[in-house]
Amino acid sequence: MTKTKKLLAFAAAVCLFTGSFLSSCYYDSMEELGYLGTVCDTTAVSFSTDIQSLLDNSCLTCHSATSADALGGGNNMEGYDNLINCVTPGDPSTSSFYNSIAWVSGTSFMPKAEPQLSSCEINTVMAWINQGALNN
Ligand code: HEC
């Protein structure tokens, strides 16, 4: 190799290295800021919009008033008045609603025989309980 070629090869290597290094930094900070995924906002969780839709999507096939006896071990979680039986307002750690979706060992992992809910959904339930498990 000539001196110039060596220099060019070195410059290319440096560019490759710093290029990937910088882009991974960029990616990490974007991810931390939530720009790459869905932003998970748990500042004011609402029963009627956030919790109800989660139950509709993932739980009520087995835990509705009509399905609970046959499919949900008798646990009717349809509507606020029934769901609140699985909740200690202000304390997720003693709420079977939270423990079952957080897959805390010693509890039945829910949704039964399905993949775990997203961390955003789990955090939303935790926040709702911490915020007093209101019928809001
Ligand atoms: C495919 C049916 C099915 C689905 C879907 C399902 N469950 Fe269950 N669930 C059950 C059954 C059956 C039981 C009874 C205990 C057992 O068999 O594990 C149960 C029990 C429970 C219990 C009581 C646990 C205990 O320790 O007594 C809670 C709380 C619960 N489920 C929450 C949920 C939540 C929240 C969802 C949705 C994210 C959900 N389940 C989705 C079938 C289901």
Mean pLDDT, the chain, rounded, equals 85
Query: What is the spatial distance between Cα 68 and Cα 5, in angstroms, rounded to a whole number?
Result: 74
Ligand 1 pocket member 101 (CB < 6 A):
yes
Nearest atom in ligand 1 to 96's CA: 29
Confirm if 92 and 130 have CB atoms less than 8 A apart.
Answer: yes
Determine the pLDDT at residue 87.
98
34-62 mean pLDDT: 90
94-108 mean pLDDT: 97
43-51 mean pLDDT: 96
Determine the pLDDT at residue 14.
45
Q: What is the dihedral of CA 74, 92, 129, 115, to 10 degrees?
A: -60
Q: For residue range 70-87, what is the model confidence (pLDDT) as tens digits?
A: 999 999 999 999 999 999
45-49 mean pLDDT: 97
In the reported structure, the alpha carbon of residue 112 is separated from the centroid of ligand 1 by a whole-number distance in angstroms of 6
* 73: region left, alpha or beta (phi > 0 left; psi from -120 to 50 alpha): left
Q: For residue range 102-136, what is the model confidence (pLDDT) as tens digits?
A: 999 999 999 999 999 999 999 999 999 999 999 99
Nearest CA residue ID for atom 2, ligand 1: 62
In the reported structure, the alpha carbon of residue 19 is separated from the centroid of ligand 1 by a whole-number distance in angstroms of 49
